Amino acid sequence: MMDRSWPLRDLESSTQAVATTREEVVEGGLEDAHERDTALQEASEDYHRFIEAVERSSKQSAAVAELRRSQKRKRLPMGTTRLYDHGRLRLIPTPSAHPVDPLNLSFRRKWAAIGAVCFAVAGESAIGSLLLPIFALEYAGVDPHAIRQTNATTVTAAALVSQIDSPVDVLLPTGTVLPATSQMALLATVPLFVAAVAGYVLVPLSVAVGRRPVLLLAGACTWAGALWAGLSSYSPVLSPFVQHVAARAVMAVGAGAASVLVPLVAAHDLVFLHQQHTALVAVVACHAVTTAVISAATPYVAAFYDWRWMYFILAALGFVAWLLLVALVPETRWTQRTTAELSGVCSGSSPRYADEPQTLD
């Protein structure tokens, strides 16, 4: 490290040298006044040259420090990507020349695929816990429509006070025992657990075998599980409740795909960096709107028709969405992209820009 105290030490030594010279001149008894003046002038010139050197060194140090500060201000954080090059929007990653590259698809083809994957897995878990009270009545052997037809004004105050456990009990037939809350909670907790596990399994599987096969598998699980849940009360093989839980667990595989695969395909594989936020917002908005519509319609359908019809409706919509996946979504996993292309530079040629004509199919 540079010793910053050396100018002060040299200044002291020069001052001492001038003083010593003056003492030597006086003590030596020089008779020639011209020689005395010459010696003092040389010592003074040495002192002034040293002062000038110190000033130049200080100015150079300040200039170096300012240059370093300006370079630090211009330095970009690690991971920063320049989207614009002289006012032109760059395409990052750079699409390759291969026609199978998903980035070379036309604009309409890309957004048709994004819409298909959003529609395929948007509403598979929308009826989550909304129907749990109705399921409790169903598995207690009580027709849910009977409560809607009950005249609540005939219930006496004494009867209402005696039913402290649940106010709904006053509307049920005498002797009705509802299933345990922990048992009914399985209809919600088991699908959530399966969806979480499926998220950890589907992504490595999509890397190994491709996005399209995994999406088709998840979409098939959605409509097949919904159909099974709707028919679970009529099968003599297992108890209706066990079948219902298993069917919702199968549907949860599609929920896992909605959480991890749809953003990966829609906002990573099919679009460029400057379009990723638009695709991600479209995915979230489609999922939210579909969930809200189905959540609002579910209680009405269950109260005036049958809760099984919600599963049948989901199964029909899921099957149509699965056909759209088969028809519109190509394989989007592309492993031949180089590091230079990922950063927006095409090796051997100039970068690609958004105002250039794109590939149409």
What is residue 158's predicted lDDT score, i.e. its pLDDT?
Answer: 47
What is residue 246's predicted lDDT score, i.e. its pLDDT?
Answer: 92
Instruction: Clarify whether residues 253 and 124 are in a common domain.
Output: yes
Residue 91 lies in a domain: no
- Contact between 273 and 102 under an 8 Å Cβ cutoff? The reply is no
Instruction: Clarify whether residues 44 and 161 are in a common domain.
Output: no
| 3-state DSSP of 323-345 | HHHHHHCCCCCCCCCCHHHHCCC
Q: Which residues contact 184 (CB under 8 A, 6 or more apart)?
A: 132, 135, 136, 139
What one-character DSSP code corresponds to residue 236? S
pTM score: 0.68
Q: Which residues contact 1 (CB under 8 A, 6 or more apart)?
A: none
State the total domains in the chain. Answer: 2
What is residue 348's predicted lDDT score, i.e. its pLDDT?
Answer: 54
Instruction: Clarify whether residues 159 and 42 are in a common domain.
Output: no
Instruction: Clarify whether residues 218 and 121 are in a common domain.
Output: yes
CA distance 319 to 334: 27
Instruction: Clarify whether residues 52 and 114 are in a common domain.
Output: no
- Contact between 186 and 292 under an 8 Å Cβ cutoff? The reply is no
Residue 119 lies in a domain: yes
Instruction: Clarify whether residues 210 and 285 are in a common domain.
Output: yes
CA distance 143 to 137: 7
Instruction: Clarify whether residues 127 and 226 are in a common domain.
Output: yes
Residue 344 lies in a domain: no
Instruction: Clarify whether residues 47 and 126 are in a common domain.
Output: no
**Angle at the Cα of 9 from the Cα atoms of 7 and 15, rounded to 5 degrees:** 100
What is residue 2's predicted lDDT score, i.e. its pLDDT?
Answer: 47
Instruction: Clarify whether residues 291 and 186 are in a common domain.
Output: yes
| Tokens matching residue 195 | 């969806």
DSSP string, 67-120: HHHHHHHHPPPTT----EETTEEB-SSPP-S-TT-GGGS-HHHHHHHHHHHHHH
Structure-token match 């020089």, residue found? 30
Structure-token match 């922990």, residue found? 182
Residue 163 lies in a domain: yes
Instruction: Clarify whether residues 131 and 46 are in a common domain.
Output: no
CA distance 256 to 129: 17
Q: Which residues contact 124 (CB under 8 A, 6 or more apart)?
A: 222, 225, 226, 251, 252, 254, 255, 258, 314, 318
Supply φ then ψ for residue 5, to 5 degrees.
Answer: -95, 0
Structure-token match 């298993």, residue found? 246
Residue 361 lies in a domain: no
Domain that holds residue 238: 107-333
Residue 78 lies in a domain: no
CATH number at residue 311: 1.20.1250.20
Instruction: Clarify whether residues 17 and 119 are in a common domain.
Output: no
CA nearest to 299, candidates 283, 314, 310: 310
Number of CB atoms found within 10 A of residue 246's CB: 17
What one-character DSSP code corresponds to residue 232? G
Instruction: Clarify whether residues 56 and 116 are in a common domain.
Output: no
pLDDT, averaged per 10 consecutive residues of the chain (361 residues), comes to: 50 58 53 66 73 70 68 63 78 81 87 85 58 72 63 48 49 58 83 89 90 91 90 77 90 83 85 87 84 79 81 88 90 80 64 67 49
CA distance 213 to 216: 5
Residue 222 lies in a domain: yes
Residues making up the chain, counted from first to last: 361
The reply to whether omega before 93 is within 30° of 0 (cis) is yes
